[in-house]
Amino acid sequence: MAEKRFLERVRLGLVLFGGLYLGAVILLATPYFQSQWVSLILDHERYLTTWQSAIYMNAIRLPLFAKFDTPEKYGLAPNKTLNLYINTPDNETLGAWFVLADPYYQSLPEIPSELDTHVPETLKRHPTVLFFHGNAATRAFKARILHYEAYSSRLGANVLAIDYRGFGDSTGKPSEPGLVTDARAAWDWLVAQGTKEEDILIAGHSLGSGVAAQLAAQLSDEGHRSRGTVLLSPFSSIREVLNTYHILGAVPLMKPLAMIPHIPDLVTWALTHKFDSLGAVPRIKGSVLISHAEDDWDIPHTHSRILFDAFLAPYLPPLVLPAGLQIPEDKWATFWEQRDAWTAKRDEILTRREIPHFGSVEKIERDGKKVVFVKTLAGGHDYLGLQEGVQDFMRTLFDFGPLRHA
């Protein structure tokens, strides 16, 4: 009878489901599987390796089969770019390109040979952009070369671009402290060539903004003085963004996740490699340019807003939020009052300017240092630095002066 068969099927279903459930419970209760699960959670190194390759993507070596010793192949003028190798204190070898400032290159009577002999002279005459690229690909990647060309010609600056450890033809494997060591080795190389510290502008794009921020903070701590710091399409810190979502409650990203056992721990570990630029901000001395495009789909421009606010923080009344995820009902009034006072003071100390069809510029000048946030309408993630408007803010904020020939 149909009814009986139906009941049989239900029973069979229950038995199957129950069996699977029981099986899963038995597996989870088995010491072997428990140890697998627990080690997956606790095995810092293995977890981070996966996470690291996701952050750095250094295995993507674009362009393929790049010939780093012939930068001409990628659009740079003949013998304008020196391919060199920089050694780090922990024995890695970093591939790097040094591009002569165009005013210097063009002042030469003919195409130079023995390029390394020209390096000290151009470093003496022209400022240098120390450029830290984003994740994936190498120093020969087209979008990056367009940056070197623009800095050399439009800003009249020399450019030093490195491939971090594990990238391009550099040795080693990437890690946060490793990349910062690499950045410092590049700085030290420039100084060893006779560059004045105040002639070096530290610039980083995307992941490189995290490297630039850490280097700038480290140098500031040690009393060194660069020309300034440029953060292009930067991120603040992943943790901070998660926390911000909690406070405003707009996207309660962490709440459902937090209910799953171990997920909060995983997030904490994931954030160990966090390039905490937000934490580095208070340590950076000297002027800073932050720029972000509104149409950046990789890293939203809210990251730059958070960074800029962090530079403002010392000059604003504090926003003291109660601990925990929720603001109790009776604290809301206090919270909004604080917020209003904060906004009023903020509007008082910063100047804001809209540039039609280009974007907005916010600026504060305090204690002899300027912090400027240029938010562009266009440029996306990879081409923001190629916006001539952004380059002009680099030129004026850091006193590169009008383009000089010879």
Ligand X SMILES: *[C@@H]1O[C@H](CO)[C@@H](O)[C@H](O)[C@H]1NC(C)=O
Size of residue set near ligand X by CB under 6 A: 7
**DSSP annotation string for 149-190:** HHHHHTS--EEEEEPPTTSTT--S---HHHHHHHHHHHHHHH
Residue 117 is a binding residue for ligand X (CB under 6 A): no
Closest CA to 193 of 118, 91, 112, 94: 118
Residue with tokens 């991120």: 235
Total residue length of the chain: 406
Minimum separation from the CB atom of position 165 to ligand X (A):
13
Give 77 or 143: the residue with its C-beta nearer to ligand X.
77
With CB under 6 A as the contact rule, which of the stretches 22-30, 48-56, 110-118, 214-222 interacts with ligand X? Answer: 110-118
What SS3 class is residue 365?
strand
Closest CA to 202 of 130, 96, 134: 130
With CB under 6 A as the contact rule, which of the stretches 95-103, 108-116, 186-194, 280-288 interacts with ligand X? Answer: 108-116
What SS3 class is residue 276?
coil
Of 3, 91, 297, 367, the one binding ligand X by CB under 6 A = 91
What SS3 class is residue 291?
strand
Residue 73 is a binding residue for ligand X (CB under 6 A): no
Residue 90 is a binding residue for ligand X (CB under 6 A): yes
In whole angstroms, give the CA distance from residue 212 to residue 225.
Answer: 14
Give 88 or 387: the residue with its C-beta nearer to ligand X.
88
Q: How far is CA 320 from the centre of its chain?
A: 28
Of 31, 113, 348, 367, the one binding ligand X by CB under 6 A = 113
What SS3 class is residue 9?
helix
Residue 109 is a binding residue for ligand X (CB under 6 A): no
Minimum separation from the CB atom of position 68 to ligand X (A):
15
With CB under 6 A as the contact rule, which of the stretches 35-43, 49-57, 96-104, 106-114 interacts with ligand X? Answer: 106-114
The dihedrals phi and psi of 322, each to the nearest 5 degrees, come to -65, 150
Minimum separation from the CB atom of position 286 to ligand X (A):
31
Residue 79 is a binding residue for ligand X (CB under 6 A): yes
Residue 177 is a binding residue for ligand X (CB under 6 A): no
In whole angstroms, give the CA distance from residue 243 to residue 252.
Answer: 9
Minimum separation from the CB atom of position 140 to ligand X (A):
18
With CB under 6 A as the contact rule, which of the stretches 18-26, 96-104, 111-119, 212-220 interacts with ligand X? Answer: 111-119
Residue 78 is a binding residue for ligand X (CB under 6 A): yes
CA angle 259-263-264, nearest 5°?
85
Give 43 or 188: the residue with its C-beta nearer to ligand X.
188
Report the interface residues with ligand X, using CB under 6 A.
Answer: 78-79, 90-91, 111, 113-114
